[in-house]
Each structure stands twice: as structure tokens, then as C-alpha cells.
Amino acid sequence: MLFACSAYLSACTSPNPPKMAYQEFQLTNDPAGHCINSTQCWSPDDQWIVFDSRNTDAGIISAGTIAAVKVSDKEIKTLYNTRGQTNFGPGVGAVTWSPVANRVLFIHGIRNAGRDRPYGATRRTGVAIDMDRPCQPIWMDARDIDPPFTPGALRGGTHAHTWSGDGQWISFTYNDYLLEQAEKAGHDVKDLRTVGVMAPGKKVIVRNTNHFSKKDSPEKKVSPENKNPLENKNSLDDKTPPENNDSLEDNNGELFAFPIARVTENPAPGTDAIEKAFDECWIGRNGYHKADGAWQHRAIAFQGNLREKDGTRKTEIFVADIPDTVVTTAAAMPAQTDPTRRLPVPPGITQRRISFTEKGVSPVPRHWLRSTPDGALIGFLAADQQDTIQLFGISPNGGAARALTHNAFSITGPFNFSPDGKFVAYAGDNSIWITELAGGHTERVTARFGDEERPDGAVVWSNDGSMLCYNRRIRTGKEGFWQIFVLKRK
């Protein structure tokens, strides 16, 4: 099916002449799920789109395939299949493509997943695949749940991986398995979602050679010589690399990982302390200009849940500025030994609140913050005075937020800025829309579909800005499947 914007000019929210003409074509057709991520799903040359085999947003637990589809001829190439996939995991999904290399990165559940260890927020890691070496996983963040913990390794699950503009660093949200278990055991600590990064320059080798086996669940077994229920060691071959043994929960990592957002169980009301950090973005392709004119090379904006003076929970926007020397600083920190204490944020990372909105950032629809390529603006969704979800923008230096859209309908999914920073694309009113940031001119660029076949999730620009991709559910027989659609500029 082909749809041109000119056929739907009456639906545009501005009386200005049309500026955007796109044609839609369906890229996948087979009766299976084809879930694209909220960002970075195009190959650097825009020839391929990467996806996972989910058919529902929450379906990573049973999804076992990462694949890519070629835009020119619809060829599908399988990049990775899990081993021993069940309804409890391992599970793969939320795949992104490096902006500079033919490498994709995705969530991977622990390899010994099962009924007692199902896929979950604390049981996942980031795995990469090179396009020319399919089915050969590269474990990006190290996992070590056996104290003393290895510097640069994590103790839980990473999620929603996003490449920095130069393709060297990776951001993620994080949940800590050991804190989750400590809370269950009655310790005064909680597994609070936070944000972290992986950085190059120091490969992480998990030093411990004792790991959990498939038959021994850390939730159930306590070693007689170890009274701490979070410590359970079972000997395995010291020469077996963790990432090559499917009985292990631990693995080495190509990159050095650490948290960058500070969270606390009991944030004081009326302060900028937060109990959850999530749904982040890199600021700018290469950073941003600070208020004093200095250039900040690496920084992340994220959503944080705080407490108003009356105790009401509210979501606002925070920025973490990351110094270039942070990996050296983090590597010099003493190894953690206490499984009931949170992994520390390395010294030198500054955290500050930049938004002070009336209603807070909108939790529905779920979305990730996005930055314009120059780093001058961070976009977020929030309700206007009529409780319509609009797109707003704010400087990473703070100040007043400004409305970027003024639609009569609510935006219904994650958004993305165009590579040149002039436009933003999103779904709403069962259609795809594009808004020009200078002046706010907005156009509907697809048909208005029925509820069953409406766009679902994010709209993602190609690297050259000439195409967009998104999911729509198309019925095959009695069942509907997420298919990938592309809008190509005419």
C-alpha cells in the first residue's frame, strides 16, 4: 500500500502549504513478530533495519531471535538465536545498531534461565553481534554476583541500551539482582532502577571462579560455611570463560560499566533526591555547551522520580555530566564486598535537576528522553493545560520548558528528532506525524489507520533523514503480527 501526505492535507494541523511528502511501504510480511526498538534501529548505511521477534511489548521473556531486514529487497538475515529458549527465558530484545559500525546490541537474559530463574529486570545483560559474524555473541557488560565484586562488572540487569553519538559508549537502565535478593531477605535496602554507562578502554574479567550452577538457585540454597543468603558458591572449571558456559549467571565484559545516577530509598520531600532514574538519552551527538560556555563532552539526561513537599511522587528531568577521566577514576575505586550496598557512582559525576514543571513528565505513554543532535534541546512528553500529551523541550542547562507541539490529540508513543535537528516524528491519532521545530508546522504523513492497524511504538529516522520506520499490527488469518513499515521521502 502507498500513501502520500498530499492525500491527507485536510488533516494537517497548520494551514501552511504541505512541505513533507512520503510514501509508505510494508517491509516485512511473514506471520511473526518484528519489533523495532525506540531508537537506533537503522544500519549506518541505512540499508538494514534490525528487530527482535517479539509480538508484544512485554514479550522479551519468550523472544529468541534477533534479525535484520534489508530495505531494498526485504531480505531477512538472522543475526542471533538463543539456545534453549523457553517461556521463562533467556529472551532477547530491544536491539540497537551502532551509529558507526556493523554491530548490533540487545538485551539478553541469563543463559541458565528457567522456572526458578525467569527472565526479569535483574537477570539480563547486553550482548552484541557483528553483522559479518552472526550467532557469535559478544558480552558487553560483565556480570558478577559473587563477592568480592569485580570493578567494572555489574550485579544485575541492563536494559534499553543506547549508543553514544561516536558509537564508543553505551547507556542503559539498571536493576541490581543482589539488592533485590537483600530486600527479600529483610535488609533495609531496595533494588531501585537507575542509569549507568559502559565505556571502552578496560575489558572486565570476572575474577571469581565460583558460580551458580543450573540446579542450585541462589534464592534457595545457603552454604553451611556462609551465613549470608546472598553468597552461594559452587565450584566449576577455573578455565571455563563465564560467557561460554550456559550453566553460569556470570560473564566477562568487553566494556567497563558503572552507575551514573544517584538514587535513594527515602528521598526527602521537597528536595532533588530521587528514588528512581530511568528512560535516559545521551545529550547531543558529541555533548553540549554548558551555561558558562564550556563544552561538556559526555552527558546523559534522564527521568527521575522525586517527592513533592506534600509527599506526592513526581517525575522531572535530571542531567549527569560525565568527566572524560571517569573510567580511570572508577577503576581505582576499591572493590565492593557487601551485597546489601548499592554500587557507587564514581566521583566527579555531577547530577542536577533541570526541569521544574507544573504536572511533571508524563508517564503515559512510556517514552525515552531525546536530545537534538547539537545538544541544545532535550525533548520530553507532558500534559498541557487540557491534559493532552504534547512534546516539550528544555535546555540541558535548565530554564523554562517550551511546547514543541500544539496538537488537538495526544502523542501516543516515543518520539525521535531528525538527524539534522529540524523535525520530530511521532505517532498520534492512529497516524504518523512530523513537526517542524522552527515554527511548529505539523503534518500527518500517513493515512489515519483503524485501531487495529494503527502505528504502535516509536517512529525512527534513518541516518540520512530520508526515511522513517515503525511498527503496525497486520492481521494474518486470525492473529495480528507486528510488521515493519517504512516511510520514504518522495
pLDDT at 1: 28
Cα–Cα distances in angstroms (integers) from residue 231 to residues 101, 116, 120, 218, in the given order? 39, 17, 20, 7
Distances (CA, A) of 381 to 316, 361, 376: 11, 6, 17
Furthest CA-CA distance within the chain: 77
Residue 13 pLDDT greater than 90, yes or no: no
Q: pLDDT tens digit string along 387-401? A: 999 999 999 999 999
Name the pairing type of β-strands 416-417 and 402-403: unpaired
Which residues make beta-bridge pairs with 175?
A: 157
Least Cα distance to 457 among 440, 470, 443, 475 occurs for: 470
Instruction: Identify the helix (H) or strand (E) that includes residue 180.
Output: helix 177-184
Cα 399 to its chain centre, rounded Å, is 26
* Overall pTM surpassing 0.85 (yes/no): yes
CA distance 464 to 468: 10
Dump the DSSP string for 181-202: HHHHTT-S-----EEEEEESS-
Contact predicate 328/258, CB 8 Å: no
Compute the average pLDDT of residues 363-387: 97
Which pLDDT belongs to residue 239? 54
234 pLDDT above the threshold of 80: no
Mean pLDDT value across residues 100-113:
96
Residue 16 pLDDT: 53
Tell me the pairing of strands 156-163 and 138-139: unpaired
Task: Over range 20-48, report the average pLDDT.
Answer: 96
Rounded to 5°, angle at Cα 425 from 131 and 29: 50
SS3 content of the chain, % helix, strand, coil (to 5): 5, 35, 55
Is-contact 142 253, C-beta < 8 A? yes
Position 338 pLDDT exceeds 50: yes
Residue pLDDT, tens place only, 48-93? 999 999 999 999 999 999 999 999 999 999 999 999 999 999 999 9
Q: How many residues does the chain have?
A: 490
pLDDT of residue 6: 31
What pLDDT, on the 0 to 100 scale, is given for residue 245? 76
Sign of the CA dihedral with 167 first, then 173, 175, and 176 last: positive
pLDDT value of residue 240 = 64
d(CA 319, CA 306): 14
The grid coordinates listed for 484 are 515493519
Please determine, for residue 190, whether its predicted confidence score (pLDDT) is greater than 60: yes
From CA 477, how far away is CA 372, in angstroms rounded? 42
Cis amide linkage into residue 242, ω under 30° from 0? no
* 3-state SS class at 434: strand
Helix (H) or strand (E) holding 316, with range, is strand 313-322
Residue 325's identity, in one-letter code, is T
| Three cell numbers, residue 88 | 521463562
CB 444 within 8 A of CB 452: no
Beta bridge partners of 353: 318
Helices (H) and strands (E) in the chain, counts: 2, 29
For residue 328, the SS3 value is helix
- Model confidence pLDDT, tens digit, residues 425-459: 999 999 999 999 999 999 999 999 999 999 999 99
Residues 6 or more apart whose CB falls under 8 angstroms from that of 15 comprise none
113-122 average pLDDT score:
95
Greater confidence, 376 or 5? 376
Mean pLDDT of 341-366: 97
Q: What number is the average pLDDT over the span 469-479?
A: 94
Among 330, 329, 322, CA closest to 283: 322
Arithmetic mean of pLDDT over the chain? 90
Give residue 39's pLDDT: 98
The domains of the chain are located at 1-30+405-490
DSSP lists the bridge partners of residue 319 as 301, 352
Residue 62, pLDDT score: 96
Q: How far is residue 84's CA from residue 268's CA, in Å, rounded to a whole number?
A: 46
- H or E element that contains 326: helix 326-331
- Compute the distance between CA of residue 167 and CA of residue 180 in angstroms, rounded to an integer: 32
CA distance 65 to 92: 7
Closest CA to 257 of 322, 189, 212: 322
Examine the pLDDT at 214 and tell me if it is beyond 50. no
The CA–CA distances, whole Å, from 132 to 52, 101, 323, 384 equal 18, 11, 34, 47
- Specify the pLDDT at position 156: 95
| Vertex 357 angle, CA 261 and 362, to 5° | 75
Confirm if 371 and 378 have CB atoms less than 8 A apart.
yes
- Please choose, from the candidates 357, 352, 351, the residue with its C-alpha nearest in 3D space to the C-alpha of residue 400: 357
